[in-house]
Amino acid sequence: MRSLFLLLLVALASLGESKEGSEHHKRAKRESLSRSKRRWVLNTIELEEEMDVEYPYKITTMHNDKTANVEHHFEISVEDDDSKLFTINKTSGEVYVHRRLDREKTPSYHITFDVWDIGVAKKIDKELSFDVDVKDINDNAPMFISQFQKSYDVKENTKVGDYLPVLMDVVDLDQEGTINSTVDVTVVKQSPAEPKIGVKKITEKQHQLISEGCFDYDKAKHYSVVISASDRGKPPLSSTVAVELNVIDTNSHRPKFKKRQYEAEAVEMQTHKDILRVAVEDKDTPNTDGWRAKYSIISGNEDEVYAITTDPVTNEGIVGVVKAKNFDITTLVKLQIGVENVEPLTVCKDGKLIEDLSSLPPKDSVSITVKMVDTNDAPLFEKYTEEVYQTEESEKGQVLYTPKVKDAESDNIRYELVEDPANWVTVDEKTGIITTIEKMDRESPHVDVDSTYRIVIAAIDDGSPPATSTCTVSVHLRDINDNTPKLLNNSAILCSNEADKVMVRAKDADLEPFSGPFGFSLADDKTLKERWKIEPEYGEEVSIRLLTKLPNGNYSVPLVIQDKQNQPSKETLSVVLCNCVKPGVCAGPKPLSTAIGIAAIGLIIAALLVFLLSAVLLLLLTRKQKTFLMTNLNDEYKQTLMKYNEEGLGTDCKAEPNILASKTTESITDGIKLGSMQVHNIEASPGMVQDMGSCHRTYSVVSNQLFYNVCPQMSSNMNTWDSQQQGGMKRNSRGNSTFKRSISSWSDGRVSSLLDRRLTVTDSNPTDSSDDHVKMYQYEGNGNSCMSLDMLSSEYQQNDLSFLDDLGPQFKTLEKIIMENKSEVLKAEKSDI
């Protein structure tokens, strides 16, 4: 009752508390709880791991004073344990453990208890808990966790306390900070027993082997070591590991010469790589740095004439002569040779490494006697190289160089020419004087780029054997202006569809001031200067510009190029003018097609037949000739009027009078040969003037051609006229021209008959010109709108035909073919005339 009364007071006090203090409230609550009667018996239970008892094993009994006169049962739960390791008797509250505990797996357990009122199915009291701590025992031996090798290498002659390359990590799973996990690592066994090998602790878990003396490779080359790790538990547990140590030989022995005295012989003024070999012996392991010998010359080599090296295979010392020296007489040279190893020497004594090697014997050495044999010395030039200067193209016979030579052993010296690439000089055999026998050209390929010509002469004495020495004479050639500028490239391609100029570059083989920059100019030709222009006219490289439009083809451009001394040269640049497909590449003409169809073959055969038929008709017509006289028509050729179709109606116009002329003087007009003529009026007749509606057409013979005039409105419908010479010409006794003409089949005789009749009348009665005058058919104002066929050209057309000036490369190729054919036709016609 007392406890219940105290609980009631605590409850009332808590309800009456204000803001003063949660801390006061908590403190009062703790005091009230401390005064209440304990309902659970709570404590921490210690269980020893791995207990050897009968399981299940009772560890405690739970009590609660509220369970009196109440039907109840107990419940238990273990944190993080689903294996039913702990159980409780629901009625009596006895707690049991069912198997051995392992502290290394779970060091403690947290157990919670509840008690339930079975009648009302609720907890009688609050949930309480207690801990079960597992007490450690020494059930784990120390473990080596390092990855051990089977063997390790250690060098001999180690110092005391030097670490060996065996590092160990050791752990014990028992409770830390106890004797069960405190580990000691020691070497428990080694063979051989000396030197001692120990273990040094680096950290709490890490240990390493150390040397407690010197290893001696000659005494033992291998060691077996057993290492133990033991804890301090009761009883103690331990584990061991075994390793092998291989002793590596070091330089613990000095090399020694096999002989104490050596002799060698060499010839003066000659170098020899190998005049003597010396050998040593060494007790260390062959082909190691502790065995390899390193030789040196201690004394006798003040002039550094000799050297000694090591043969890497045999370990021998090779003595050689590396510097030629002149000895007046045969001489004996004393050399002191020493030897040591590449690796420094380390020596152990009484199990300890000797730090001070001065107490040891010095390195081994021997004496070598070298006999230097005196020989015939070569002559000595005062200068073995000489520089001379000479102007190029100088007259031959010039003395370039006179050598000065001494020879202490001989006065009879002869000279020879050793090197003279261009054969320009000669050498006097007795004096050695170098004299030119040809003019020396600085631009020769035998001259270096620095204008130097190299000559080598030799001086030879009369010794046995003869000795020789040489001297090099470098002749520096001064330049003169003996070369003119030249074009680097005498041809160029001018792409007319891309540019209007080409670049040219000149070069002069002479040096400054006899070379460039150059002056460029065109040859003195008016036509050339109208076509081409040089820009600029001074420099190493200039452009040749095309000023006018020229057809594609090959052109020559004569140039005059002057150097800085105004010495000119004439060069010709060949320019290929063409259309280019790419820079510098002309477009070639397209090949003509060779495929001929059946229709084309038929047309060719038909044309041949027509040509043969025309030739036969022409032969027949030439047999029908008629001769007539014509006054003042000297050297004229007869023409035949060819009648074409009748034109349709046109606009009214007046026709120009037609004239029949006799040629007296010739002139060229629009490409047609004309002459001054005597004009005879021709009577108008139906054969000569045809009514064309309101317009008329007249015929005229002008300069060996027969023309007819038409109205300009009719020019588009006008058919082409043609005239053919059907006969030859002969002169009669009166000086008149007699023509033989054949009657053409297509003139049907009317025009020929009319023309003969009118010419006869005019010749017999020149004053009768009543009907031979120009007839005005219709007046249309001043001027004449008609034109002769001579005037029918593109320049009189109203349409703009400027596009015909340049029809492109394909049309130009066609034009070139047609013009060549036309030229051949004109030549054939002239030959027929």
Q: What is the pLDDT of residues 739-769, one digit of tens each?
A: 333 334 444 455 566 666 666 655 555 544 4
- pLDDT band with cut points at 50, 70 and 90 for residue 656: very low
Q: Is 760 helix (H, G, I), strand (E, B) or coil?
A: helix
Instruction: At 630, give phi and psi (nearest 5°).
Output: -140, 125
- pLDDT band with cut points at 50, 70 and 90 for residue 120: confident
- pLDDT band with cut points at 50, 70 and 90 for residue 187: very high
Task: Please state the rounded mean pLDDT for residues 514-542.
Answer: 87
Instruction: At 754, give phi and psi (nearest 5°).
Output: -65, -40
- pLDDT band with cut points at 50, 70 and 90 for residue 776: low
* pLDDT value at residue 755: 67
* pLDDT value at residue 801: 62
- pLDDT band with cut points at 50, 70 and 90 for residue 497: confident
- pLDDT band with cut points at 50, 70 and 90 for residue 726: very low
Give percent of the chain with pLDDT exceeding 90: 27
Distances (CA, A) of 152 to 222, 244, 427, 740: 10, 6, 79, 136
Per-residue pLDDT for 325 more than 50?
Answer: yes
Q: What is the DSSP string of 77-134?
A: EETT--S--EEE-TTT-EEEE-S---TTT-SEEEEEEEEEETTTTEESS--EEEEEEE
Highest averaged pLDDT of the listed ranges 221-225, 381-385, 678-682? 221-225
Q: What is the pLDDT of residues 24-46, one digit of tens each?
A: 333 433 433 433 344 454 678 88
Indicate the fold that domain 486-583 takes in CATH: Immunoglobulin-like (2.60.40)
Per-residue pLDDT for 538 more than 70?
Answer: yes
Highest averaged pLDDT of the listed ranges 131-135, 261-265, 481-485, 795-799? 261-265
Per-residue pLDDT for 50 more than 50?
Answer: yes
> Among residues 375, 390, 295, which one has the least CA distance to residue 338?
295
Specify the range with the lowest mean pLDDT, choosing from 146-155, 334-343, 350-359: 350-359
Task: Please state the rounded mean pLDDT for residues 130-135.
Answer: 88
Tell which CATH architecture fits domain 38-108+122-130. Answer: Sandwich (2.60)
First to last CA, the chain: 171
* pLDDT value at residue 42: 60
Q: How many CA atoms lie within 13 A of 336 on its CB side?
A: 7
Instruction: At 509, give phi and psi (nearest 5°).
Output: -70, -15
The tokens describing 336, both together, are: 């002191």
Give percent of the chain with pLDDT exceeding 70: 70
* pLDDT value at residue 599: 66
Specify the range with the lowest mean pLDDT, choosing from 210-224, 423-437, 692-706, 763-777: 692-706
> Among residues 134, 138, 127, 72, which one has the least CA distance to residue 97?
134
Residue burial 686-723, b: 16+ Cβ < 10 Å; e: rest: ebbbbebeebbbbbbbbbbbbbbbbbbebeeebeeeeb
Q: Is 773 helix (H, G, I), strand (E, B) or coil?
A: coil
* pLDDT value at residue 276: 94
**CB contact at 8 A, 365 and 338:** yes
Per-residue pLDDT for 116 more than 60?
Answer: yes
Query: What is the Cα–Cα distance from 186 to 226, expressed in whole angstroms?
Result: 9
- Does the domain made of 256-373 have the CATH classification 2.60.40.60? yes
Q: What is the pLDDT of residues 663-720, one digit of tens each?
A: 333 333 333 333 333 333 333 333 333 333 334 444 444 434 444 444 433 333 333 3
* pLDDT value at residue 117: 84
Query: What is the Cα–Cα distance from 708 to 688, expressed in whole angstroms?
Result: 9
More confident residue, 607 or 697: 607
Per-residue pLDDT for 192 more than 70?
Answer: yes
- pLDDT band with cut points at 50, 70 and 90 for residue 799: low
Parallel/antiparallel/unpaired status of strands 261-267 and 452-460? unpaired
Per-residue pLDDT for 791 more than 80?
Answer: no
* pLDDT value at residue 402: 92
Mean pLDDT of the chain: 75
- pLDDT band with cut points at 50, 70 and 90 for residue 638: very low
Task: Please state the rounded mean pLDDT for residues 788-796.
Answer: 45
Task: Please state the rounded mean pLDDT for residues 239-268.
Answer: 92
Longest dimension (CA), the chain: 193
CATH number of 143-248: 2.60.40.60
> How many residues does the structure list for the chain?
833
More confident residue, 437 or 104: 437
- pLDDT band with cut points at 50, 70 and 90 for residue 334: very high
Query: What is the Cα–Cα distance from 442 to 448, expressed in whole angstroms?
Result: 9
CATH number of 380-478: 2.60.40.60
Q: What is the pLDDT of residues 612-631, one digit of tens each?
A: 888 887 777 665 544 444 44
Cα dihedral 793, 799, 805, 810 sign: negative
* pLDDT value at residue 753: 66
More confident residue, 357 or 778: 357
* pLDDT value at residue 622: 63
- pLDDT band with cut points at 50, 70 and 90 for residue 549: confident
- pLDDT band with cut points at 50, 70 and 90 for residue 283: very high
Per-residue pLDDT for 721 more than 90?
Answer: no
pTM, entire model: 0.42
Parallel/antiparallel/unpaired status of strands 705-709 and 580-582? unpaired
